[in-house]
Amino acid sequence: MSNQILPLPRPVEVINTGLGRRRAAERRFRLYGVAAITLALIFLVLLFISIIGKGYTAFWQTQVQMEATLAPELLDIADPADRNQVMAANYGAVMKAALRQAFPEVTGRAEQRQLFALVSSGAEDILRQRLLDDPSLLGQTVSVWVPAGGDIDMVRKGHIDRSLPESERRVSDQELAWMDALVQQGRIEQRFNWQFLSTGDSRSPEQAGIWGAVMGSFLTLAVTMLLSFPLGVAAAVYLEEFAPKNRWTDFIEVNINNLAAVPSIVFGLLGLAVFINIFGLPRSAPLVGGLVLTLMTLPTIIIAGRAALKSVPPSIREAALGVGASPLQTVTNHVLPLAMPGILTGMIIGMARALGETAPLLMIGMVAFIVDVPKGVFDPATALPVQIYLWADSPELGFAERTSAAIMVLLVFLLSMNALAVILRRRFERRW
C-alpha cells in the first residue's frame, strides 16, 4: 500500500501540460484585440466614406457664363462714381435682360420665371462688385461667370435624377433643354466653390457658406481657451500644491469630478440665466458661448492638471526646496514645466469637446440664422455644429451636400487641433 507505482510528477512537467491552454488563451485575447481594432477602423472608414462621398460635391459650384449689358436705364444710375447709387441699383433687371437675350424664344410669365431661375441671385452681387471696381463699365456689355441656380447645380452634380418622369422631378423638361443648350455652347462649367469657404449662411443653398460658422466657432473657442486655461491651471496648481488636505478640499475634489460629468445643456441653461439675464450680455455672442464652454471645460482641465502635477517626481520638488526656493518658485520653475505635456493634453481634449458641443450654444441663442461673418466677440454668431444642425434641417437639396461638407470642415478642424496637441506635447516633453 505504501508502494508508489507512478513517481510524482515534477512541477516543471505539470506546468508544461497546462501550457497549451494558456497559449491558446493568449492567442484568443490577441485576436479579440485585433478584431476590436479592425471593427473600429472599419466603422471609421465607413464614416469617412459616407461623409466625404456626400459632401465633396459642395466644394464645386456650377457656373454659367452670361453676357450682361449694364444699361444705365435698367440700373437707374445717373453717376457711376457715386457709390450709393451703384450699391442700390437693380442688378436683377440686368440679369433678367441677359437671360432673355440668351433665350429670345421664351415668352409667357410662367416660362420666364423658370428661365430666371437658371441663374442664382448671387449673380447680382457679382455685377455690383464689377461696377464698383470699374465705374467706366456702365453702359457696356460684360461677360461674367455667375453661379447657376440651385436646381441646375443639383442636376449638374447628379443629385437630381434626369431619368425620372417629369412629374416626379423638381426640374421641368424645358429647364433641362435650356441647360443642355448652354452646355452645348460651352457656357456651363464646374468651378471650385470659393464662396462656400468665404461667406456666411444664406437662404439659397448655392450662396451659403461656412465661413460665418467657422469664425463663430473660432472666436468662441478663443474665448474659451483664454479663460479656461489660466483658470484651470491655477486651480489645479493650488489644489495640488498649496491647499491643505482636509475635508473641504476633499469636498471640492468630489464636486469638480461631478461637474465634469454634468450634461452640457445644463451649462447652457446656466449661461442663459446668469450671463444673459443677470449680466445682460448680448445674445448669440461668441463671448457668452465662450463663457459657457469655459465652465464646461474647466473641470476637464483641472482634473488633467492635477494628474499631471501628481506625476512629477517628488525628488524634483525636494531638490528645489532644498536650494531655498519658495513653494511658488518650485512650482513655476520646475514642477509646472514638467507637468505641461499632461496639462496641454487635457486642454486639447477639453477644447475638442467644446468644439463639438451644440446643446449649450442652442440655449444661449447661437442657433439663429446669422448671415454676416462675425468680426468680434460681441457680434452675433453661430458655431459649426449648430450650422450643421440647421442645414441638416433644411429641405433644399443643396443643403444636404453642404451639411456633409460642413461636417468635413469640422473634422478638419478637430484633426488640426489634435495634431497641434501632439506637436505641443513633443515640444514640452522632457526626460528625467
Partner 1 sequence: METSMNETQQQAKETVFRAPDRGDLQATATVDREVRRTVGEARVADPRIRCNDINVYYGTAQAIKNVNLDVGHNEVLAMIGPSGCGKSTFLRCLNRMNDTIDGCRVTGDILLDERNINAKEIDVVPLRAQVGMVFQKPNPFPKSIWENVAFGPRIHGLARTRAQLDEVVESSLRRAGLWDEVKDRLDKPGTGLSGGQQQRLCIARTIAVQPEVILMDEPCSALDPISTAKIEELIDELRQQFSICIVTHSMQQAARVSQRTAYFHLGDLIEVGATEQIFTNPQHKLTEDYITGRFG
Instruction: Identify which of residues 375 and 427 has a Cβ nearer to partner 1 in the complex.
Output: 427
Whole-angstrom distance, CA of residue 403 vs CA of residue 246: 52
Whole-angstrom distance, CA of residue 159 vs CA of residue 415: 29
Whole-angstrom distance, CA of residue 137 vs CA of residue 4: 116
The angle at the Cα of 307, spanning 303 to 312, to the nearest 5 degrees, equals 150
Instruction: Identify which of residues 109 and 245 has a Cβ nearer to partner 1 in the complex.
Output: 245
CB of 345 to partner 1, least distance (A): 19
Whole-angstrom distance, CA of residue 314 vs CA of residue 240: 13
Half-sphere exposure of 410 (CA within 13 A, CB side): 27
Instruction: Identify which of residues 329 and 416 has a Cβ nearer to partner 1 in the complex.
Output: 329
Instruction: Using CB under 8 A, list all residues that contact partner 1.
Output: 245, 315-326, 329, 333-334, 338, 430-432
Whole-angstrom distance, CA of residue 354 vs CA of residue 217: 10
CB of 338 to partner 1, least distance (A): 7
Instruction: Identify which of residues 274 and 325 has a Cβ nearer to partner 1 in the complex.
Output: 325
Instruction: Identify which of residues 160 and 243 has a Cβ nearer to partner 1 in the complex.
Output: 243
| Phi, psi angle pair for 371, to nearest 5° | -95, -40
Chain-centroid distance of CA 111 in Å reads 41
Whole-angstrom distance, CA of residue 271 vs CA of residue 250: 27
CB of 308 to partner 1, least distance (A): 15
Sole residue written with cell 432673355: 100
Instruction: Identify which of residues 4 and 246 has a Cβ nearer to partner 1 in the complex.
Output: 246
Instruction: Identify which of residues 184 and 315 has a Cβ nearer to partner 1 in the complex.
Output: 315
Instruction: Identify which of residues 11 and 322 has a Cβ nearer to partner 1 in the complex.
Output: 322
Residue 386 buriedness (CB in 10 A; 0-12 / 13-18 / 19+): buried
N-term to C-term CA, the chain = 66
24-30 long-range Cβ contacts below 8 angstroms, 24+ apart:
none
Instruction: Identify which of residues 426 and 431 has a Cβ nearer to partner 1 in the complex.
Output: 431
Whether 145 and 232 have beta carbons less than 8 Å apart is answered as no
Whether 64 and 417 have beta carbons less than 8 Å apart is answered as no
User: Partners of 401 in the beta sheet?
Assistant: none
CB of 133 to partner 1, least distance (A): 57
Whole-angstrom distance, CA of residue 301 vs CA of residue 344: 9
CB of 233 to partner 1, least distance (A): 20
CB of 311 to partner 1, least distance (A): 13
CB of 339 to partner 1, least distance (A): 12
CB of 309 to partner 1, least distance (A): 15
CB of 314 to partner 1, least distance (A): 8
User: Partners of 68 in the beta sheet?
Assistant: 142
